[in-house]
Amino acid sequence: MMFYDAPAAADCASPPARTARTGLRWASDICRRVILVRSLVSALGSFIWSIADQLRGPYRPNQYGNVILPLTILRRLDYILEPDRDTVRALAAKYDNPNRLKIEVKKATGRQFYNTSNYSFANLLADADGLADNLADYIDRFSPDVDVFQYFDFKKEILALEKSGLLREVITSFKAVDLHPDVVSNADMGDAFEYIIRKFNEAANETSGDHYTPRDAIRLLVDLLFAEKDADLTEADIVRALYDPTAGTGGMLALAEEHLLAHNPGAKLRLYGQEYNPQSYAICKSDLLAKGYDATNIAFGNTLTDDAFKGRQFDFCMSNPPYGVDWKQYAKAVTKERDEAGPYGRFAPGLPATSDGQMLFLLHLAHKMRAPEDGGGRTGIVMNGSPLFNGGAESGPSNIRKWLLEMDLVDAIVALPTNMFFNTGIATYIWILDNSKQPDRRGLVQLIDGTAFWTKMRKNLGSKGREISDADRARVVELYSDFTEADPDYSKVLRTDEFGYWTITVERPLLDESRNPVVDRKGKPKPDTKKRDTENVPFTYGGSTAGAAGKIEVIQAYFDAEVKPHVPDAWIDWAKTKTGYEIAFTRHFYKYDSPRPLAEIDADLEKQVAKILELLREVEG
pLDDT at 213: 78
What pLDDT, in 10s, does the model give residues 198-216? 777 666 655 444 546 788 9
User: CA–CA distance from 347 to each of 360, 395, 397, 448, 462 (Å)?
Assistant: 7, 14, 11, 28, 35
Q: Is the pLDDT of residue 325 over 50?
A: yes
DSSP 429: E
User: What angle in degrees, to the nearest 10, is found between the helix axes of 167-175 and 65-81?
Assistant: 40
β-sheet bridge partners, residue 456: 466
What percent of the chain has pLDDT above 90?
60
pLDDT at 230: 60
User: CA–CA distance from 88 to each of 82, 109, 145, 572, 615 (Å)?
Assistant: 10, 8, 16, 79, 85
pLDDT at 621: 66
d(CA 381, CA 388): 13
Burial of 61 (0-12, 13-18, 19+ CB in 10 A): middle
pLDDT band at residue 57, thresholds of 50, 70 and 90?
confident
Average pLDDT over residues 592-598: 81
Average pLDDT over residues 94-106: 92
**How many helices (H) and strands (E) in the chain?**
20, 15
What pLDDT, in 10s, does the model give residues 488-524? 999 999 999 999 999 999 999 999 999 999 999 989 9
Strands 500-507 and 533-538: antiparallel
d(CA 446, CA 410): 9
Return all residues near 579 (Cβ < 8 A) that are at least 6 apart. Answer: 393, 394, 402, 500, 501, 502, 503, 548
pLDDT band at residue 14, thresholds of 50, 70 and 90?
very low
Inter-residue contact 548 to 539 (CB < 8 Å)? yes
Q: Which of 17-31, 172-186, 287-301, 525-539 has the lowest mean pLDDT?
A: 17-31
d(CA 251, CA 258): 11
Q: Is the pLDDT of residue 302 over 50?
A: yes
Greatest mean pLDDT range, 278-282, 323-327, 446-450: 446-450
d(CA 376, CA 313): 10
pLDDT band at residue 121, thresholds of 50, 70 and 90?
very high
**Would the pTM count as exceeding 0.85?**
no
pLDDT at 310: 95
pLDDT at 149: 93
pLDDT band at residue 30, thresholds of 50, 70 and 90?
very low
Q: Is the pLDDT of residue 37 over 90?
A: no
Counting Cα atoms < 13 Å in the Cβ hemisphere of 425 gives 8
- Contacts made by residues 600-607, CB under 8 angstroms, sequence distance 24+: none
Residue among 320, 318, 298 nearest 309 (CA):
298
Q: Is the pLDDT of residue 400 over 70?
A: yes
pLDDT at 105: 94
Q: How far is CA 266 from the centre of its chain?
A: 27
pLDDT at 21: 37
pLDDT at 492: 97
d(CA 573, CA 528): 12
Comparison of pLDDT for 52 and 579, the residue scoring more: 579
Average pLDDT over residues 452-457: 92
User: CA–CA distance from 324 to each of 277, 308, 386, 395, 529 (Å)?
Assistant: 17, 23, 9, 17, 34
pLDDT band at residue 596, thresholds of 50, 70 and 90?
confident
User: CB neighbours (10 Å) of residue 473?
Assistant: 27
Sign of the dihedral defined by the CA atoms of residues 199, 200, 202, 206, in that order: negative
